[in-house]
Structure 1
Amino acid sequence: MSLALGVLGGMGPAATLDFLTKLQAHTPARRDQDHLRVLVDINPQVPDRNDPLVRPGPVLAEMAVGLRQAGAEVLAIACNTAHAHADEIVRAAGLPLVDMIQAAAVAARDSGALRAGVLGTRQALKLYREYLAAQGMGLVVLPPERQEAFMALLYRIKSGDTGAEVRAEMAGFAAELEAAGAEAVIAGCTEVPLVLEEGVIRTPFVDAGDELARRCVAVCLGLESVAAV
């Protein structure tokens, strides 16, 4: 029997659906019954993780408790920035968490890169700096004014704009990281893969949501432990 997965989602909704599609794609299955049981809380009312004046942690913790009560045995968060509240979530639910940022950092290390560029929010960048350092890697980020432009682009994607102009602008941000010395680029926000995919840039592209999906399947099927790196 596989473990039931609880997903904290809705940050944003389209990114959560993208993660669930990847989860299904990575599951080895010949019939319905071979797939994982997945309990998902798509809650767009979680306070903005990028606003320092609000506290999303208690809302996320409450979601995690609800997922446990519904039958979840292991958790995943379909949002990079929300991992800043991972400790609060785990304490509240008493369940193990498959860490998206750890999964992405390990994938970047395994690509052979020594420096990884990350397209993510400021809070996510703080987390990635720590996780990449644990893998012996350096972090490459956009300069402050370009980070501001990146954030504006994220909110355009959240509003539903995934057109050619947005895709070109996101590819441009990735190219800037490469030019600054990144040997791999991590999509460190779950909106990024909605408009950027492997092959658009020269360096290895790490989709944190895709890496999380792979790890969740392996953990729920008992092929890896949650603590595996």
Structure 2
Amino acid sequence: MDTSLTLGVLGGMGPAATLDFLTKLQQFTPAQTDQDHLRVLVDINPKVPDRNASSADAGPVLAEMAGALAGAGADVLAIACNTAHAHADLIQRASGLPLVDMIETGARAARETGALRVGVLGTKGGIRLYREYLAAQAMGLVMLTPIRQEAFMATLYRIKAGEVGRDVQREMQGFADDLAADGAEALIAGCTEVPLVLDPDARKLDFIDPGELLARRCVAVCLGLEPLPAMPG
């Protein structure tokens, strides 16, 4: 009898990053047949308001998505977007379901590297979330200068528009190099588009891909190899 849990995924922020997450989820699932894979319910909704423009507008939409996934049979949720985790509590309250938290997963992996200063490539909202989790584990956060952060966001939107060629890859590597030069000992891809263009062979720091780690955790939770996350109090 199959006892695996059904995973609900809030996606579409952006669509390419969600597909990357689903690919990793499939790759990390120990399966010999189709039936061994997880049942995954996915809402790829690129109509979610831009989390970087007016974060508050995204909350009710994400809550509605989460409730629909619960109604469709999901047992546990994941969000394929770092910045959207600002609404994690609302999403869990609306759905009544636990959430495998990407931010917590990434910060915990950073701690396991032994780094004391961690660079984060992400949106301002994503960086705020990671700052809180890293500080709770006595780690400092290294971020881009305001001018370079603005340039990072321009690159990010180019990736969302489908640009993943050498120019964009070079720009992303430049941002990673900036953080290393400023004292980062490990690097968190704090936006799900970052791993789409950052060359694995060019990384100078311990690299943490929270999306990849989230996929691994979701498999473990759904197969009963890791307990369900606790609901917010």
| TM-score (normalizing by structure 1) | 0.97
1:198 deviates by: 2.8
Measure the CA separation in 2 of the matches of 1:153 and 1:219: 34
CA distance in 2: counterparts of 1:197 and 1:107, whole angstroms: 20
2:92 to 90, 102, 122: 90
Unaligned runs of 5+ in 2: none
From 217, 220, 223, give the equivalent of 1:221.
223
Counterpart selection for 2:49 from 43, 47, 50: 47
Which amino acid letter does the alignment assign opposite residue 127 of structure 1?
L
> Where do residues 148-159 of structure 1 align in structure 2 (5 Å cutoff)?
148-159=150-161
Q: Which residue of 2 aligns with 1:62?
A: 64
Cα deviation for residue 128 of structure 1 reads 0.2
Structure 2 residue 23 is the aligned partner of structure 1 residue 27: no
Superposed displacement of residue 52, structure 1: 2.5
Can you list the C-alpha shifts for 1:38-84, whole angstroms capped at 9, x where unaligned? 00000000000011375100000000011011110000000000000
Superposed displacement of residue 30, structure 1: 1.2
Deviations 1:72-125 (A, max 9, x none): 000000000000011110000000000001001111111121111000000000
Deviates more, 1:12-21 or 1:46-55: 46-55
Name the aligned partner's letter for residue 99 of structure 1: D
Compute the TM-score of the two structures, normalised by the length of structure 2.
0.95
2:127 pairs, out of 106, 125, 128, with: 125
Q: 2:165 — aligned with what? A: 163
- Mapped contact 2:169–2:199 kept (Cα < 8 A): no
Contact 1:48 1:54 in 2 (8 A): no
Checking the alignment, whether the CA contact within 8 Å between 1:78 and 1:209 is kept in structure 2 is yes
- CA gap of 1:4–1:12, structure 2 versus 1, over 3 A, is same
Distance between the aligned counterparts of 1:227 and 1:66, measured in 2? 20
Deviates more, 1:34-43 or 1:44-53: 44-53
Fraction of identical pairs, as percent: 71
- Check conservation: 1:198, 1:204, Cα contact below 8 A: no
**Quick check: 30-39 or 156-165, which moved more?**
30-39
- SS of residue paired to 2:201: coil
Q: Deviation string for 1:109-150 (max 9, x for gaps)?
A: 111211110000000000000011122211000011100000
- CA shift, 1:170, in A, is 0.1
Q: Which amino acid aligns with 2:78?
A: A
Q: For residues 193 and 160 of structure 1, what CA distance do their matches in structure 2 show?
A: 14
2: CA distance between counterparts of 1:200 and 1:53? Answer: 33
**Does 2:176 align with 1:174?**
yes
Deviations 1:200-223 (A, max 9, x none): 211111011001101111111111
Identify which of 158, 167, 186 aligns with 1:184.
186
Within a 5 Å distance, the mapping from 1:199-210 to structure 2 comes to 199-210=201-212
The ranges of structure 1 where at least 4 consecutive aligned residues each deviate by more than 2 angstroms after the TM superposition are: none
Unmatched 5+ stretches in structure 1: none
Letter in 1 for 2:215: A
Q: Kindly tell me: are residues 98 and 197 of structure 1, through their superposed partners in 2, closer, same or farther at Cα, counting changes over 3 Å?
A: farther
Counterparts of 1:16 and 1:53 in 2: how far apart (Å)? 19
Q: CA RMSD in A?
A: 1.2
Tell me the matched-pair count: 228
